[in-house]
Amino acid sequence: MRRRPGIGGLQKAAAARDQYRLLGENVAKLRTDMMKEQLATFKSQLEEFARKHKNDIRKNPAFRAQFHEMCAKVGVDPLASNKGFWAELLGIGDFYYELGVQIIEVCMQTRSLNGGLISLQELCSHLRQRRKKDREAVTEDDCLRAISKIKVLGSGFEVITIGKKKLVRSVPTELNKDHNQILELAQGQGFVTVEEVQRRLSWTSGRVIDALETLLEEGLAMIDNGSKDGKCQYWFPCVSSVYSFVGSDT
């Protein structure tokens, strides 16, 4: 029969547990301190890198994207504030603020044509036309970063993905699954017909017409009754290259 440990044994066991706990806490603290020290070193090196390559970061979009990746790895957001070290050093805050304003302007000017839904590719094309004199190239990555800052303001801007395309939505239109499927289908030639949607998606005519009427009401679609086969075509400027550069000089 095993004997139960006495009071002295229980106290020794408790003391040993306390020692192990303290040892674990000390090891965890040492690791945390080492990580903080390494992070501080990385941030310092990042600042030095930014000073050295300031012009490249401003002028070269590929270089700028790589710089953002480096920042993300050490928890630095150069766009977090328009005032502060990074904004003063690189002017990055000003760059994205100006780009954000231009994105809003393009979306407002093209809204009557596309209903407030424009492809990211087309948006970049408009912006490049506007910024030729600035000689600062703009990429889709730059646009996405600028839009993420606009979105924080609660301005209704959002990037959505439909099929293979990224679309920028500048109006609070709610698209359901049916609308998204029609837009994805239209990416092939820029338009759809009721018959094509019925055939390709195996929908009833009522379901197709209901979805298309909603897209028309929201200003996202345009009707063309002049096709050779006599079928009504529903065109979508947000996914059609036919309308891509209309109003680009406005």
Query: Do both 120 and 231 map to the same domain?
Result: no
- pLDDT exceeds cutoff 70 at 167: yes
- pLDDT exceeds cutoff 60 at 5: no
Query: Do both 149 and 203 map to the same domain?
Result: no
Helix then strand then coil, % of the chain, to nearest 5: 60, 10, 30
End position of a domain, from candidates 146, 172, 198: 172
| Overall average pLDDT of the 73-85 stretch | 59
Instruction: With CA atoms as reference, report the closest residue to 185 among 165, 170, 209, 158.
Output: 165
Q: Which amino acid is at 25?
A: E
- pLDDT exceeds cutoff 90 at 201: yes
Dihedral over Cα of 232, 238, 244, 248: its sign: positive
Query: Do both 202 and 102 map to the same domain?
Result: no
Query: Do both 50 and 141 map to the same domain?
Result: yes
Q: In whole numbers, what is the pLDDT of the chain averaged over residues?
A: 78
- pLDDT exceeds cutoff 90 at 27: no
Total domains in the chain come to 2
pLDDT score of 247: 45
> Which residue range forms the structural domain that includes residue 191?
174-245
Cα 64 to Cα 28: distance, rounded to the nearest angstrom: 36
37 within domain boundaries:
no
* CB-based contact 86:93 (threshold 8 Å): yes
Single pTM value for the model: 0.63
pLDDT score of 245: 44
| Overall average pLDDT of the 105-121 stretch | 90
